[in-house]
Amino acid sequence: TQLLEQSPQFLSIQEGENLTVYCNSSSVFSSLQWYRQEPGEGPVLLVTVVTGGEVKKLKRLTFQFGDARKDSSLHITAAQPGDTGLYLCAGAEGGADGLTFGKGTHLIIQP
């Protein structure tokens, strides 16, 4: 079973600060997705990265896929309380083994 390790598990920062969360594996993925989940709701897809070294921006969120397609990071600039949630990464192996989820990073942005 392939594993995705997310760090940190918990992060609480003040509004306006920058932060980076990480998603690491020893395995290669054909693509990687980031989801955000709010309390009492299902995960909602934020982005998919496919190419090694790829960088995608979604307003204040920047996603990067590692060159070797084993890891990814999510950077948030000038965090806002609305960014609060559980951030999940999920890797697709492109074959029969399917999608692997990390356990997530719980992010709290305090006003």
Partner 1 sequence: DVKVTQSSRYLVKRTGEKVFLECVQDMDHENMFWYRQDPGLGLRLIYFSYDVKMKEKGDIPEGYSVSREKKERFSLILESASTNQTSMYLCASSFFVGHSSRGDIQYFGAGTRLSVL
By the criterion CB under 8 A, which residues form the site for partner 1? 1, 30-31, 33, 35, 40-45, 48, 88, 90, 92-99, 101-104
Supply the minimum distance, in Å, between the C-beta of residue 41 and partner 1: 5
Exposure pattern of 92-104 as b/e (b: 16+ CB <10 Å)? beeeeeeebebeb
Task: For residue 80, give the DSSP letter.
Answer: -
CB nearer to partner 1: give 63 or 79.
Answer: 63
Nearer to partner 1 (CB atom), residue 52 or residue 94: 94
**Shortest distance (Å) from residue 45 CB to partner 1:** 6
Q: How is residue 106 written in tokens?
A: 């719980």
Contacting residues for 45 by C-beta, under 8 A, at least 6 apart:
33, 34, 35
Using the minimum distance from each CB to partner 1, give the nearer residue, 48 or 64: 48
